[in-house]
Amino acid sequence: LAKITQPISMDSYEGQEVNITCSHNNIATNDYITWYQQFPSQGPRFIIQGYKTKVTNEVASLFIPADRKSSTLSLPRVSLSDTAVYYCLVARNTNAGKSTFGDGTTLTVKP
Amino acid sequence: IAGITQAPTSQILAAGRRMTLRCTQDMRHNAMYWYRQDLGLGLRLIHYSNTAGTTGKGEVPDGYSVSRANTDDFPLTLASAVPSQTSVYFCASSRDRDSPLHFGNGTRLTVT
């Protein structure tokens, strides 16, 4: 299983772009990367998923370099409501049991 | 509203007691999962099920058992609770093994 490292915390201000990087040096060929957002007393919520290069949806972008040993979640123009914990998940598409979450990054958005 | 229902929301349990955490999904997802979340340790996979009738062990399966008799339900049982099982337990489901996870709102369990 991939060992995952994320920054423990980050601060930002409203309107700024935030980039959170996840390191997964021993990612396997069949592993894909997913990011989740979690608010207090709630379960994590899906943000974005990718395998390589760049993926974009209505709320975020995910950048994955060619070696796939890291990935960066980009949140454009954050607001106070984006204050949450963000988790990186590396999982194998051939085995649901082969998955590892990072320990999470607490993002605090200030006015 | 479609989603995952977990019960109970919270529970205080005496050590040595047996406890079953319930999880039901109405999305007809094939795969289901149980995670525990401890402060500073993120989410760790306890058990999973790729499809009804099959189960597998995750990262921290000791002291827990699961069953998947049908598509919708995936109960987690603690046969004899110990204080180290104090945690928040999340049930999740996904359409397939490589689809995004949908999580319930968790069960906060305290073993005294």
What confidence tens digit (pLDDT) does each residue in A32-55 have?
A: 999 999 999 999 999 999 999 899
Looking at the predicted structure, is the pLDDT value of residue B39 above 90? no
| Residues near B51 by beta carbon (within 8 Å), at least 6 away in sequence | B30, B31, B68, B71
Q: Would you place residue A2 in the very low, low, confident or very high pLDDT band (cuts 50, 70, 90)? A: low
CA atoms within 13 A on the CB side of B59: 17
Q: Which residues of A fall within a CB distance of 8 Å from B43?
A: 44, 87, 101
Q: Which one of B74, B97, B102 would you mutate to disrupt binding with A, by most A Cβ within 10 Å of its Cβ?
A: B97
Q: What is the pLDDT of residue A1?
A: 64
A50 touches chain B (CB under 8 A): no
pLDDT in tens, B7-35: 999 999 999 999 999 999 999 999 999 99
C-beta of residue B26 within 8 angstroms of C-beta of residue B79: no
Task: Please state, for a pLDDT cut of 90, what percent of chain A lies above it.
Answer: 83
What's the mean pLDDT in B27-52? 93
Of A43, A100, A102, the CB nearest to B90: A43
pLDDT in tens, A4-34: 999 999 999 999 999 999 999 989 988 999 9
Chain B, nearest residue to A99 by Cα:
B45
What's the mean pLDDT in A55-63? 96
| Rounded Cα distance, A35 and A90, in Å | 9
| Rounded Cα distance, B63 and A95, in Å | 22
Query: Over the range A72-97, which residues count as b (16 or more CB within 10 Å of their CB) and which as e?
Result: bbbbeebeeebbbbbbbbbbbbeebb
- Tell me the backbone φ, ψ of residue B17, rounded to 5 degrees: -80, 155
The alpha carbon torsion through A103, A107, B1, B7 (nearest 10 deg) reads 40
